[in-house]
Amino acid sequence: MRPFIYILIVLLELPVLGQADYNQALRRAQYLLNGTIPTDDEFTAHAASDTAYRDAVRQMILDDRFYDAVLRYHQRIFGVGLPDEYLEELLNEDIDGKQDKFASITCWRSSGENARFRCTWTSQLEESQGAGCPSSWETATSVFWYPGISAWVCPSVLNTCGHDLSKCFIQYWDENEAKNSELGTTETFDSRFAVINSLSKQAAGIATAVAVENYPYTKILEPGLTAVDGAIAHFYLQDHHFKIDQLNLNPQVLDLIPEVPLTDTRFKLIKAGGDNYARGGVISSFGWLRRYDKHRTRANELYKRLLCRNFTADLPAVFPQDPGNLREAPGCSDCHSVLDPMADFFLAWGEGAEIYEGQATQVDTFFGTCQGSTVQELAGCIQNLPGFGKCTVQNVWEWFMGRGFYNEEEALRDALANYFQTTDYSFRELVYAIATHPAFIEGTRSDAIVTDPLADPPLGEIPTVTVECNETIDYATHIQPLSSTYCENCHSAGSSRQDLTTEAQWQSLGSVALGMMRSGVMPPNPSSSELVQFADNVQCWLEQ
């Protein structure tokens, strides 16, 4: 028996008392994982049984469209979006001693007698010098961003930019149209927008490639690991236009760039040899460091996005004008005693536009029980924290269920986190486990408002479920009234589900029912303090 099947059986405490709805589960799963809605034939084939549904989910995970779904998920987790002005920070202002000799060409489709797709020097168009040469001199050449069409260019452009124009930075005359174009789908293309879009989601691209290729998910924080797509490869090749050397790229990365097709919109993992103290996978990507442009912000976003925790503190009634050392000041130390030492790991990088020029002196610092001074050491620390696995489970659960865990689902979250670890941190197996969990199949995704949310676990500690039984629990007083309210509408004689109306039936099936109550599978009501007390009563009654 496959390990994941065995663990899921243990998790679910079979037999299952709920009512599976495979049609709705298939619709939700296929939309989330592949971005499509099942056809009538697919409903007939894949919603006929539990086995058919599970096999369908497995195929969805192996489907080529799974990549796009996982990329969208990671963009939500890590953030996305950067202004294109950030590229100007790396622009070479002086090329060969001539400041205006930036090798940028602008493309457009001309009209009139000699209507054709043309590309010429941007500087000549800005100075109203036209195409730069007589039309009879123009030569047709291919373009790297949209194979199959030809652009007409002057000899000087062809000689400088190469046979497919890939050695030059491309602009399009209509910026609004260019911002919405996708590489490889149209003649409309602008390097500025394509490159900044890819750089902004590079962290998501690294994590997506790791997940889809089924590497251990902890590799997203591996020093030396990065990912590039065609637009980033195009950017890295523009060392005569940009200060690529300031990116501190491993030379092996640049050696591997030519192997990446410039029209490829999917991220490919690149592992450069050797250690780099300033690198930590997703948390040292351009998008992460530039979007979160202060050391404290970088640490705070890591704390929130990779560990699912937030800094909170009770501020003093009167906040001092000069609080002094925030790590010690009243009202500040609760957060800054953790945040600031964590931020010190990022000192190898500059802040804001000085991202590649800061490199302040490293200091010995700490986060929890981890000691170090570099991003590399911080990344290794996060990889080994139980909170990292739990946070990943929580994020994927919210992706599928549309809600967080209920307070009584603490044991379920722990079980899924343990399962995630036993599968060598396989993101694909975690997705499979949640997509085939009874809570998803039976539609409790609709309980989107969590009135009793599960608190974040302490970092590095695995929370345990404990119930204080301070009184003797009587079935007639403490179990039967709540069972009548929450259970007997579905679980009574003559219904399609297991009867749970007598004390004997609760003694026989109570442990199974308790497991399903703790996991949120039953009853089909939003969580409340009364339901938590009901589950506690059942647990104490069974144990006494």
Q: What is the pLDDT of residues 126-137, one digit of tens each?
A: 666 566 788 889
For residues 80 and 286, the answer to whether their CB atoms sit within 8 Å is no
pLDDT tens, position by position, 345-398: 998 888 888 887 666 678 899 888 888 999 999 999 999 888 999 999 999 999
* CA-based nearest residue to 484, from 500, 468, 460: 500
Domain of 537 in residue numbering reads as: 475-543
Taking the CA atoms of residue 139, residue 144, residue 149 and residue 152 in that order, the dihedral angle to the nearest 10 degrees is -20
For residue 359 the two structure tokens come to 């490199």
**139 domain residue, yes or no:** yes
Confirm whether 498 is domain-assigned: yes
Do 412 and 520 meet the contact criterion of CB atoms below 8 Å apart?
Answer: yes
The residue among 133, 167, 201 that closes a domain is 167
On whether residue 445 sits in a domain, the answer given is: no
Which residues of the chain are under the pLDDT cut of 50?
1-18, 97-100, 445-454, 456-465, 519, 526-527
Q: Is residue 245 part of a domain?
A: no
Tell me how many domains the chain contains. Answer: 2
Residue 310 tokens read as 């937030």
Assigned domain for 328 exists: no
Residue 528 lies in a domain: yes
Residue 295 counted as domain residue: no
pLDDT for 522 equals 63
Q: Which of 164, 149, 184 is nearest to 105 (CA)?
A: 164
Domain for residue 159, yes or no?
yes
User: Tell me, what's the pLDDT at 94?
Assistant: 60
pLDDT attached to residue 219: 94
pLDDT at 506: 85
Among residues 167, 192, 217, the one where a domain terminates is 167
**Residue 382: what pLDDT?**
93
- DSSP-derived 3-state class of residue 276: coil
Structure tokens at 343: 């931020």
- Give the strand pairing for 150-153 and 139-142: antiparallel
Query: Domain boundary at 150, 167, 184, which?
Result: 167
Taking CA atoms, 502 is separated from 76, 476, 541, in Å, by 47, 10, 14
Label residue 313 left, alpha or beta by phi (over 0 means left) and psi (-120 to 50 means alpha): beta
Contact indicator for 203, 73 with CB cutoff of 8 Å = no
